[in-house]
Chains A and B, each alone.
Chain A
């Protein structure tokens, strides 16, 4: 077993990101889509922390960015769920296939 390097982390992050993309594109439930977005954000954070550790170990800027990303993610979840509640109250559904009035 070789030592764990940057590529290992990046590989995990890439796969995590792809899973998030897949969920984003295929889930019908709005809450599930929100979860998928969280997966993608986590993948990105993992990338940045890994870069920080292996390429600029003294700067910590990568970690700092991850802190900000987490902040934004928290805000996003709060607003996103509020939107979902609002839509649910109006339409009594959280299925994307029924929320299709954004067309002609």
Chain B
């Protein structure tokens, strides 16, 4: 048994390579075959998943820790002063991540078998999914910042390709561009931070940095390093959709729903959280950087929840809930609990994938009718989807014994230990989360159908979709309790192992608030006893603000139209008038000069002959006048005899 796990560990480099190979094979060979492309993608991902399980088991058995990881690396390139490796770093953190990523990616690919059936770009879709998974896995097992950055950008690229999958739709193209450009803004900071680290420490290796950073702080203080850490944090802010760079994430739902599930659950957005966790020593050494992480996370959680309260599109609500949950994870990191953050990352991956795929079932059944108030009464048509979505809602709302309860409780407990305002914010956000999730759930599955019951016949999806929902629902129920009872904190941790018991004062408060919020949502949207419009009218400007997403997009647009455009106009003027002016001026000068000079070319041979004789005559006169020296010079000048 040990041997199998050892082999898996030695082959761990195959985990990102297999899906990458699937991508290449599909693009090169199977581009025309639906069956083979899906088979290649799923086989590669399944193999990676099995390897990941083996690696995780070995990690637990061999007792690898963050301080004592398993590293497999080869030199990538080497120039004087710069040595960069590429390889695989296995510790409990990355072992957890590869299992989660491969599992969710595998499930999403299986689900897509049903969801994407009959789509014209089927092989392309599976190729991009494979690339997406490979990039994320390469990022997770990275041994240094540069490898991580390369795969980080690959993740960005593949998300661009997948969000823009329906490239014939303008909105999809725009959303893909928005995602790419917005995350680039953060990546720029990340790159600067990485360069600064290379300059300061001469290495980007995670293990070496772990020993060098404390030494540096002891010697020089933490002022410069804080700036570097905040620059690096810009990358996760963009990638993980933290305020104020969260705007791309809700638009990313323009991609097919399985892609949204993958982006929101296992790849892309959690990359930012993972980066902070991977570089956690850097942040942990710098209290002010940590405080920034905590407050950005806390504020994002609250802010996104406030927006999600009033959204009407099913996937948009889920998207804002993702932003909010990512804020939770950042908050957990910021208050010093890597364990809680990763725990929540894992449970969130399962229940968010579950909810997105359930939403996908709804959209699949009702032909992309996205407005939750255009749905309703679906419970009796789609009981499995109803159950799956219900489990997801209970899990994200933090109702025991569902997964979210355990992970959210850990975050709240960690926040309570550090800062009371943050704890209050997080608890309030938990209640809001329960409310908007319940609102979506009740509006979609209860009440009178608001669609045409006579003509549309919603039904469950084909078997791959149903099977995946069942698996994910089971995980969403059990993963929290499993993590809790199997002492998750003793493995995935920073610092000494710990196992926090459930603080019933905190957990009870948040659970009670969530139950109350769900009750309020039932009264408003389920039973119809209260009128939502009255409440909205009472909230007045707050409702408007939330419905318009606090006008962040409009603010960016305004900024773009005024500042960026006028700057662009100035630069364009400079380019057209000055740069082009100089270039065109040179051209015009030559043209005008040529126009004058060409009049010398009369076409009259005798004119040419005259000039020829005149020149020779003058040369002879000069030679005669100036003597032998001039004759020699003239001979040299003419090149004669040389």
Asked whether any CB of A lies within 8 Å of a CB of B in the complex, the reply is yes
Determine if A96 is an interface residue (Cβ-Cβ < 8 Å).
Answer: yes
Which residues of the other chain, A, contact B605 by a CB distance below 8 angstroms? 96, 99, 102
* A103 x B601 contact (CB < 8 A): yes
Which of A96, A103, A104 interacts with B606 by CB under 8 Å? A96
Main secondary structure on B side of the interface with A: helix
A86 interface residue per 8 A CB criterion:
no
Q: Is A2 an interface residue (CB 8 A)?
A: no
Query: B601 contacts A104, CB within 8 Å?
Result: yes
Query: Which of A24, A100, A103 is the one whose CB lies under 8 Å from B609?
Result: A24
For A97, list chain B residues within 8 Å (CB).
604
Is the CB of A21 closer than 8 A to any CB of chain B? Answer: yes
Contact partners of B598 in chain A: CB under 8 A: 103-104
Q: Shortest distance in angstroms between B19's beta carbon and chain A's nearest beta carbon?
A: 66
Across-interface contacts of A21 in B (CB, < 8 A): 613
Cβ contact within 8 Å between B603 and A101? yes
In the complex, residue of chain A having the shortest beta-carbon distance to the beta carbon of B613:
A21
Residues B610 and A25 in contact, CB atoms below 8 Å apart: yes
Q: Chain A residues with Cβ under 8 A from B609's Cβ?
A: 24-25
Q: Chain A 74-104, CB within 8 Å of chain B: the 1/0 string?
A: 0000000000000000000000110111111
Per-residue CB proximity of B210-223 to A under 8 Å, as 1/0? 00000000000000
- CB-CB under 8 A from B613, the residues of chain A are 21, 25
Give the chain B neighbours of A99 by CB distance below 8 A. Answer: 603, 605
B602 proximal to A (CB < 8 A): yes
Residues on the A chain within 8 Å of B610, using CB: 25
CB distance from B87 to the nearest CB of A (A): 68
Q: Is A26 in contact with chain B by the CB < 8 A criterion? A: yes
User: In the complex, which residues of chain B have a beta carbon less than 8 angstroms from the beta carbon of A103?
Assistant: 598, 601-603
Q: Which residues of B contact A100 (CB under 8 A)?
A: 602-604
- Nearest A residue to B601 via CB reads A103
Per-residue B-contact encoding for A4-30, CB less than 8 Å = 1, 0 else:
000000000000000001001110000
Question: Which partner residue on chain B sits nearest A104 by CB separation?
Answer: B598
Nearest chain A CB to B610's CB is how many angstroms away? 5
Q: Chain A: which residue is nearest B610 at the CB level?
A: A25
Closest A residue to B608 by beta carbon equals A102
Q: How many Å lie between the Cα of A97 and that of B603 in the bound state?
A: 9
Neighbouring B residues of A96 by C-beta, 8 Å: 604-606
Q: Are A24 and B606 in contact (CB under 8 A)?
A: yes
* Least Cβ–Cβ distance between B612 and chain A, in angstroms: 10
B606 to chain A: closest residue by CB: A25
Question: Judging by beta carbons under 8 Å apart, are A102 and B606 in contact?
Answer: no
**In the complex, the 4 A-B pairs of residues with the closest C-beta atoms, listed nearest first:** A103-B603, A100-B603, A103-B601, A102-B603
Query: What are 16 A-B contacts with C-beta separation under 8 Å?
Result: A21-B613, A24-B606, A24-B609, A25-B609, A25-B610, A25-B613, A26-B606, A96-B606, A99-B605, A100-B602, A100-B603, A100-B604, A101-B603, A102-B601, A103-B601, A103-B603
Taking A24-B609, A100-B603 as given, write out 13 further A-B residue pairs in contact, using a Cβ cutoff of 8 Å, ordered by the A residue number: A25-B606, A25-B609, A25-B613, A96-B604, A96-B605, A96-B606, A100-B602, A101-B603, A102-B603, A102-B605, A103-B598, A103-B601, A104-B601
